[in-house]
């Protein structure tokens, strides 16, 4: 069951709203009658279609506490309160773990994991004082079913999964709901473009042949790719659902991985994953 389907009068703050899922979700909330605080590192109001009195586009860097506090403060000043926080900002990475620089690992975690924690820490006292609010943390189907060459990215998202599930118990006591949206693979997003500058030289010999075979297998993806609509619908459902549900897999593959992982044996799950994604090339 959902609350007011139009969401009129409610306010959502979305991080990473300049492109991909974040941009699509921001527009969906606007179209549904919500006040939207669309945040990004380089604000651009032209990305959205909406009445100016319901849209606020702000700079927000999730790795900078002052930036977070300024955006939240400006959002509350404009709309009175923030009912929903959507932690969508993130960085992708395709790399062989052995050669991934420590500095890059830290950069991924600073945004994907500690950035989520920082925005949560900033908004929780405000929601707690009001006795209501919803926090939605966007992870990935990779957090359900890890694949090759995304060990660091997957680790950053799995950390958010565990953090969110544990946090959900604490927050229920003060009237705050915590939810997870788990998007599947969606080539239409900016994931590849955003992370490609980071990946140069990160699949060298002896991993290059392995990577090529893996990417070849990915051309025969086992399900339809996730769409912006899949993810925006899941995010909106998480924002308006009145049940105790925690996870919202979004996209055919995310739902398939969830069923495979959670309703079959570990042996069956591993065998199916190796069949679909694990290259047979041996490195060394």
Q: Which residues are catalytic?
A: 153
The answer to whether 82 touches 36, Cβ cutoff 8 Å, is no
Rounded Cα–Cα distance for residues 140 and 161 (Å): 9
Q: Concatenate the DSSP letters of all residues of 13-75 into one string.
A: EESSTTSHHHHHHHHHHHHTT-EEEEEESS--GGG--S-GGGEEEEE--TT-HHHHHHHHHHH
Rounded Cα–Cα distance for residues 108 and 102 (Å): 10
Q: If you count DSSP H runs as helices and E runs as strands, how many of each does the chain have, helices first? A: 10, 7
Q: Who's near 231: CB < 8 A, 6+ residues apart?
A: 21, 24, 25, 138, 181, 183, 186, 250, 251
Query: Can you name the residues that pair with 87 across neighbouring β-strands?
Result: 137
Phi then psi dihedrals of residue 193, to 5 deg: -65, -40
Closest CA relative to residue 112, chosen from 195, 56, 187: 195
Give all strands (DSSP E) within 107-219, no chain letters: 133-138, 176-183
């Amino acid at each position: 069951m959902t609350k007011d389907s139009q969401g009129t009068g409610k306010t959502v703050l979305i991080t990473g709203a300049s492109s991909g899922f974040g941009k699509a979700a921001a527009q969906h909330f606007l179209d549904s009658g919500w006040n939207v605080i669309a945040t990004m590192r380089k604000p651009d109001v032209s990305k959205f279609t909406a009445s100016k009195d319901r849209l606020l586009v702000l700079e927000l860097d999730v790795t900078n506490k002052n930036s977070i506090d300024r955006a939240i403060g400006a959002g509350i000043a404009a709309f009175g309160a923030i009912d929903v926080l959507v932690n969508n900002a993130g960085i992708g990475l395709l790399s062989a773990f052995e050669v991934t620089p420590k500095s890059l690992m830290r950069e991924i975690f600073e945004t994907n994991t500690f950035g989520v924690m920082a925005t949560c820490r900033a908004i929780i006292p405000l929601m707690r004082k009001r006795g209501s609010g919803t926090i939605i943390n966007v992870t990935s189907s990779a957090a359900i079913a890890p694949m090759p060459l995304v060990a660091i990215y997957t680790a950053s998202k799995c950390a958010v999964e565990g953090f969110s599930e544990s946090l959900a118990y604490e927050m229920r006591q003060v009237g705050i709901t915590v939810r997870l949206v788990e998007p599947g693979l969606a080539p239409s997003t900016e994931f590849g473009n955003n992370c490609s500058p980071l990946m140069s030289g990160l699949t060298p010999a002896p991993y290059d042949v392995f990577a090529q075979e893996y990417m070849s297998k990915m051309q025969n993806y086992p399900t339809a790719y996730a769409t912006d609509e899949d993810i925006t619908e899941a995010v909106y459902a998480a924002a308006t659902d009145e049940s105790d549900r925690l996870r919202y897999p979004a996209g055919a593959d995310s739902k398939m991985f969830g069923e495979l992982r959670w309703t079959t044996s570990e042996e069956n799950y591993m065998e199916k994953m190796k069949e679909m994604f694990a290259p047979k090339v041996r490195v060394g």
